[in-house]
Structure 1
Protein backbone atom coordinates (compact mmCIF):
# COMPACT_ATOMS: atom_id res chain seq x y z
CA UNK A 1 0.00 0.00 0.00
CA UNK A 2 2.85 2.41 0.80
CA UNK A 3 4.22 1.85 -2.69
CA UNK A 4 0.92 2.92 -4.22
CA UNK A 5 0.78 6.09 -2.12
CA UNK A 6 4.36 6.97 -3.06
CA UNK A 7 3.59 6.30 -6.72
CA UNK A 8 0.53 8.59 -6.74
CA UNK A 9 2.39 11.35 -4.84
CA UNK A 10 5.32 11.08 -7.26
CA UNK A 11 3.04 11.15 -10.28
CA UNK A 12 1.00 14.16 -9.10
CA UNK A 13 4.13 16.11 -8.15
CA UNK A 14 5.66 15.33 -11.55
CA UNK A 15 2.51 16.57 -13.29
CA UNK A 16 2.60 19.80 -11.27
CA UNK A 17 6.31 20.32 -11.95
CA UNK A 18 6.11 19.63 -15.67
CA UNK A 19 2.90 21.66 -16.00
CA UNK A 20 4.51 24.68 -14.37
CA UNK A 21 7.57 24.47 -16.61
CA UNK A 22 5.39 23.91 -19.67
CA UNK A 23 3.42 27.05 -18.80
CA UNK A 24 6.57 29.10 -18.32
CA UNK A 25 8.32 27.89 -21.48
CA UNK A 26 5.48 27.63 -24.00
CA UNK A 27 2.74 29.95 -22.77
CA UNK A 28 4.13 32.73 -20.58
CA UNK A 29 7.28 33.35 -22.65
CA UNK A 30 5.18 34.17 -25.74
CA UNK A 31 2.25 35.83 -23.92
CA UNK A 32 4.48 38.39 -22.19
CA UNK A 33 5.94 39.84 -25.41
CA UNK A 34 3.13 42.33 -26.21
CA UNK A 35 3.12 43.70 -22.65
CA UNK A 36 4.75 47.01 -21.81
CA UNK A 37 8.19 46.67 -20.20
CA UNK A 38 6.95 47.70 -16.73
CA UNK A 39 3.99 45.34 -16.87
CA UNK A 40 6.19 42.51 -18.18
CA UNK A 41 8.72 42.94 -15.38
CA UNK A 42 6.02 43.13 -12.71
CA UNK A 43 4.26 40.03 -14.07
CA UNK A 44 7.58 38.16 -14.42
CA UNK A 45 8.45 38.89 -10.80
CA UNK A 46 5.00 37.94 -9.57
CA UNK A 47 4.92 34.66 -11.50
CA UNK A 48 8.50 33.81 -10.50
CA UNK A 49 7.75 34.45 -6.82
CA UNK A 50 4.58 32.33 -6.85
CA UNK A 51 6.24 29.62 -8.94
CA UNK A 52 9.17 29.35 -6.50
CA UNK A 53 6.78 29.24 -3.54
CA UNK A 54 4.71 26.40 -5.04
CA UNK A 55 7.54 24.47 -6.70
CA UNK A 56 9.66 24.16 -3.56
CA UNK A 57 6.98 21.98 -1.98
CA UNK A 58 6.24 20.14 -5.22
CA UNK A 59 9.91 19.33 -5.79
CA UNK A 60 10.29 18.17 -2.19
CA UNK A 61 7.37 15.75 -2.60
CA UNK A 62 8.62 14.68 -6.04
CA UNK A 63 12.13 13.82 -4.89
CA UNK A 64 11.14 12.30 -1.52
CA UNK A 65 8.54 10.06 -3.17
CA UNK A 66 11.07 9.22 -5.90
CA UNK A 67 13.64 8.16 -3.31
CA UNK A 68 11.01 6.02 -1.59
CA UNK A 69 10.10 4.38 -4.90
CA UNK A 70 13.76 3.83 -5.82
CA UNK A 71 14.29 2.15 -2.45
CA UNK A 72 11.58 -0.34 -3.36
CA UNK A 73 13.60 -1.21 -6.48
CA UNK A 74 17.04 -1.28 -4.87
CA UNK A 75 17.58 -4.82 -6.11
CA UNK A 76 17.24 -3.72 -9.73
CA UNK A 77 19.40 -0.66 -9.03
CA UNK A 78 22.18 -2.77 -7.50
CA UNK A 79 22.82 -4.33 -10.93
CA UNK A 80 21.44 -1.85 -13.47
CA UNK A 81 23.05 -3.52 -16.47
CA UNK A 82 21.44 -6.89 -15.79
CA UNK A 83 17.94 -5.84 -16.92
CA UNK A 84 16.22 -3.08 -18.83
CA UNK A 85 14.15 -1.94 -15.84
CA UNK A 86 17.24 -1.27 -13.71
CA UNK A 87 19.04 0.44 -16.58
CA UNK A 88 16.13 2.74 -17.41
CA UNK A 89 15.53 3.52 -13.74
CA UNK A 90 19.22 4.38 -13.34
CA UNK A 91 19.05 6.71 -16.34
CA UNK A 92 15.94 8.30 -14.87
CA UNK A 93 17.75 8.89 -11.57
CA UNK A 94 20.76 10.41 -13.39
CA UNK A 95 18.45 12.84 -15.20
CA UNK A 96 16.78 13.74 -11.88
CA UNK A 97 20.21 14.43 -10.38
CA UNK A 98 21.03 16.57 -13.41
CA UNK A 99 17.93 18.66 -12.68
CA UNK A 100 19.26 19.23 -9.16
CA UNK A 101 22.50 20.35 -10.80
CA UNK A 102 20.55 22.84 -12.92
CA UNK A 103 18.98 24.31 -9.78
CA UNK A 104 22.36 24.55 -8.05
CA UNK A 105 23.69 26.39 -11.11
CA UNK A 106 20.64 28.67 -11.03
CA UNK A 107 21.21 29.42 -7.35
CA UNK A 108 24.89 30.16 -8.00
CA UNK A 109 24.11 32.50 -10.90
CA UNK A 110 21.46 34.28 -8.82
CA UNK A 111 23.86 34.86 -5.92
CA UNK A 112 26.55 36.12 -8.30
CA UNK A 113 24.10 38.35 -10.19
CA UNK A 114 24.96 36.57 -13.43
CA UNK A 115 21.55 35.19 -14.40
CA UNK A 116 20.50 36.81 -17.64
CA UNK A 117 17.04 36.36 -19.17
CA UNK A 118 18.61 34.23 -21.90
CA UNK A 119 20.26 31.86 -19.43
CA UNK A 120 17.07 31.67 -17.36
CA UNK A 121 15.13 30.67 -20.48
CA UNK A 122 17.80 28.09 -21.40
CA UNK A 123 17.66 26.60 -17.89
CA UNK A 124 13.86 26.30 -17.95
CA UNK A 125 13.94 24.64 -21.38
CA UNK A 126 16.69 22.26 -20.35
CA UNK A 127 14.88 21.24 -17.15
CA UNK A 128 11.66 20.73 -19.11
CA UNK A 129 13.54 18.58 -21.62
CA UNK A 130 15.02 16.51 -18.80
CA UNK A 131 11.56 16.06 -17.29
CA UNK A 132 10.07 14.93 -20.61
CA UNK A 133 12.88 12.36 -20.98
CA UNK A 134 12.21 11.16 -17.43
CA UNK A 135 8.52 10.65 -18.27
CA UNK A 136 9.44 8.69 -21.42
CA UNK A 137 11.86 6.55 -19.41
CA UNK A 138 9.21 5.99 -16.72
CA UNK A 139 6.82 4.61 -19.34
CA UNK A 140 9.57 2.60 -21.02
CA UNK A 141 10.55 0.92 -17.75
CA UNK A 142 7.31 -1.05 -17.79
CA UNK A 143 7.01 -1.74 -21.52
CA UNK A 144 10.47 -2.08 -23.07
CA UNK A 145 12.35 -5.28 -22.46
CA UNK A 146 15.78 -5.63 -24.00
Structure 2
Protein backbone atom coordinates (compact mmCIF):
# COMPACT_ATOMS: atom_id res chain seq x y z
CA UNK A 1 0.00 0.00 0.00
CA UNK A 2 2.79 2.46 0.90
CA UNK A 3 4.56 1.97 -2.45
CA UNK A 4 1.33 2.53 -4.34
CA UNK A 5 0.62 5.72 -2.42
CA UNK A 6 4.16 6.90 -3.04
CA UNK A 7 3.85 6.39 -6.81
CA UNK A 8 0.41 8.07 -6.96
CA UNK A 9 1.74 10.97 -4.87
CA UNK A 10 4.79 11.35 -7.11
CA UNK A 11 2.76 11.30 -10.33
CA UNK A 12 0.26 13.83 -8.98
CA UNK A 13 3.15 16.08 -7.88
CA UNK A 14 4.65 15.87 -11.36
CA UNK A 15 1.31 16.84 -12.93
CA UNK A 16 0.82 19.72 -10.48
CA UNK A 17 4.34 21.12 -10.82
CA UNK A 18 4.32 20.63 -14.59
CA UNK A 19 1.08 22.57 -14.94
CA UNK A 20 2.35 25.42 -12.77
CA UNK A 21 5.68 25.45 -14.59
CA UNK A 22 3.86 25.74 -17.92
CA UNK A 23 1.64 28.56 -16.67
CA UNK A 24 4.39 30.56 -14.95
CA UNK A 25 7.47 30.00 -17.10
CA UNK A 26 6.18 29.20 -20.58
CA UNK A 27 2.67 30.58 -21.00
CA UNK A 28 3.17 33.88 -19.18
CA UNK A 29 5.88 34.93 -21.67
CA UNK A 30 4.46 33.24 -24.77
CA UNK A 31 1.07 34.93 -24.53
CA UNK A 32 2.69 38.35 -24.91
CA UNK A 33 3.45 37.48 -28.55
CA UNK A 34 -0.26 37.11 -29.30
CA UNK A 35 -2.75 39.83 -30.16
CA UNK A 36 -4.97 40.83 -27.26
CA UNK A 37 -8.05 38.89 -28.42
CA UNK A 38 -6.02 35.70 -28.87
CA UNK A 39 -4.38 36.25 -25.47
CA UNK A 40 -7.76 36.61 -23.80
CA UNK A 41 -9.38 33.61 -25.50
CA UNK A 42 -6.43 31.28 -25.00
CA UNK A 43 -5.92 32.44 -21.41
CA UNK A 44 -9.56 31.68 -20.62
CA UNK A 45 -9.39 28.27 -22.29
CA UNK A 46 -6.17 27.31 -20.49
CA UNK A 47 -7.53 28.56 -17.16
CA UNK A 48 -10.75 26.55 -17.52
CA UNK A 49 -8.94 23.35 -18.49
CA UNK A 50 -6.24 23.85 -15.86
CA UNK A 51 -8.81 24.31 -13.08
CA UNK A 52 -10.74 21.23 -14.19
CA UNK A 53 -7.63 19.05 -14.25
CA UNK A 54 -5.84 20.52 -11.23
CA UNK A 55 -8.77 20.10 -8.85
CA UNK A 56 -8.60 16.34 -9.28
CA UNK A 57 -4.81 16.30 -9.24
CA UNK A 58 -4.70 18.28 -5.99
CA UNK A 59 -7.21 15.95 -4.32
CA UNK A 60 -5.12 12.93 -5.32
CA UNK A 61 -1.86 14.66 -4.36
CA UNK A 62 -3.02 15.69 -0.89
CA UNK A 63 -4.92 12.45 -0.32
CA UNK A 64 -1.86 10.35 -1.09
CA UNK A 65 0.29 12.75 0.96
CA UNK A 66 -1.97 12.32 3.97
CA UNK A 67 -1.80 8.55 3.51
CA UNK A 68 1.99 8.69 3.38
CA UNK A 69 2.20 10.95 6.44
CA UNK A 70 -0.17 8.65 8.29
CA UNK A 71 2.39 5.87 7.79
CA UNK A 72 4.84 7.84 9.94
CA UNK A 73 2.34 9.14 12.51
CA UNK A 74 3.12 6.54 15.17
CA UNK A 75 6.88 7.00 14.85
CA UNK A 76 8.73 9.38 17.18
CA UNK A 77 8.95 12.82 15.53
CA UNK A 78 12.59 13.51 16.27
CA UNK A 79 15.71 13.95 14.21
CA UNK A 80 16.44 15.10 10.69
CA UNK A 81 13.73 13.02 9.01
CA UNK A 82 11.00 14.46 11.25
CA UNK A 83 12.26 18.00 10.68
CA UNK A 84 12.24 17.60 6.88
CA UNK A 85 8.83 15.90 6.88
CA UNK A 86 7.46 18.64 9.13
CA UNK A 87 8.79 21.29 6.73
CA UNK A 88 7.18 19.47 3.78
CA UNK A 89 3.85 19.37 5.58
CA UNK A 90 4.13 23.05 6.52
CA UNK A 91 4.85 24.02 2.91
CA UNK A 92 1.94 21.87 1.70
CA UNK A 93 -0.39 23.61 4.16
CA UNK A 94 0.96 26.96 2.98
CA UNK A 95 -0.03 26.03 -0.58
CA UNK A 96 -3.56 25.41 0.66
CA UNK A 97 -3.40 28.87 2.23
CA UNK A 98 -2.38 30.31 -1.15
CA UNK A 99 -5.43 28.72 -2.77
CA UNK A 100 -7.70 30.06 -0.03
CA UNK A 101 -6.25 33.52 -0.65
CA UNK A 102 -6.80 33.05 -4.39
CA UNK A 103 -10.43 32.03 -3.80
CA UNK A 104 -10.96 35.04 -1.53
CA UNK A 105 -9.48 37.44 -4.06
CA UNK A 106 -11.54 35.91 -6.87
CA UNK A 107 -14.83 36.09 -4.96
CA UNK A 108 -14.20 39.69 -3.93
CA UNK A 109 -13.05 40.64 -7.44
CA UNK A 110 -9.65 41.79 -6.17
CA UNK A 111 -7.46 39.41 -8.15
CA UNK A 112 -5.28 41.41 -10.51
CA UNK A 113 -3.09 39.72 -13.12
CA UNK A 114 -0.03 40.78 -11.10
CA UNK A 115 -1.40 39.17 -7.91
CA UNK A 116 -2.37 36.02 -9.78
CA UNK A 117 1.15 35.70 -11.19
CA UNK A 118 2.68 36.30 -7.75
CA UNK A 119 0.50 33.58 -6.23
CA UNK A 120 1.36 31.11 -9.02
CA UNK A 121 5.07 31.83 -8.66
CA UNK A 122 4.89 31.41 -4.91
CA UNK A 123 3.04 28.09 -5.19
CA UNK A 124 5.58 26.87 -7.77
CA UNK A 125 8.45 27.87 -5.45
CA UNK A 126 6.77 26.05 -2.55
CA UNK A 127 6.37 22.93 -4.71
CA UNK A 128 10.01 23.02 -5.80
CA UNK A 129 11.08 23.30 -2.16
CA UNK A 130 8.86 20.34 -1.28
CA UNK A 131 10.51 18.26 -4.01
CA UNK A 132 13.96 19.22 -2.73
CA UNK A 133 12.95 18.29 0.81
CA UNK A 134 11.49 15.00 -0.41
CA UNK A 135 14.77 14.10 -2.09
CA UNK A 136 16.60 15.08 1.11
CA UNK A 137 14.49 12.67 3.19
CA UNK A 138 16.36 9.68 1.80
Corresponding residue number in structure 2 for 1:38: 37
- Tell me how large the CA RMSD over aligned residues is: 0.8
1:93 aligns with 2:89: yes
Which blocks of at least 5 consecutive residues in structure 1 are unaligned?
A: none
Runs of 4+ residues over 4 Å off in structure 1 = none
Q: Larger RCO: Structure 1 or Structure 2 (Cα < 8 Å, ≥ 6 residues apart)? A: 2
- Work out which of the residue numbers 112, 117, 131 in structure 2 matches 1:116: 112
Distance 1:75 1:84 in 2: 16
Which blocks of at least 5 consecutive residues in structure 2 are unaligned?
A: none
Q: How does 1:1-146 map to 2 (within 5 A)?
A: 2-76=1-75, 79=77, 82-142=78-138
* 3-state SS, counterpart of residue 115 of structure 1: coil
State how many pairs are aligned. Answer: 138
* 3-state SS, counterpart of residue 75 of structure 1: coil
- Please give the TM-score of this superposition, normalised by the length of structure 2: 0.98
Distance 1:75 1:115 in 2: 42
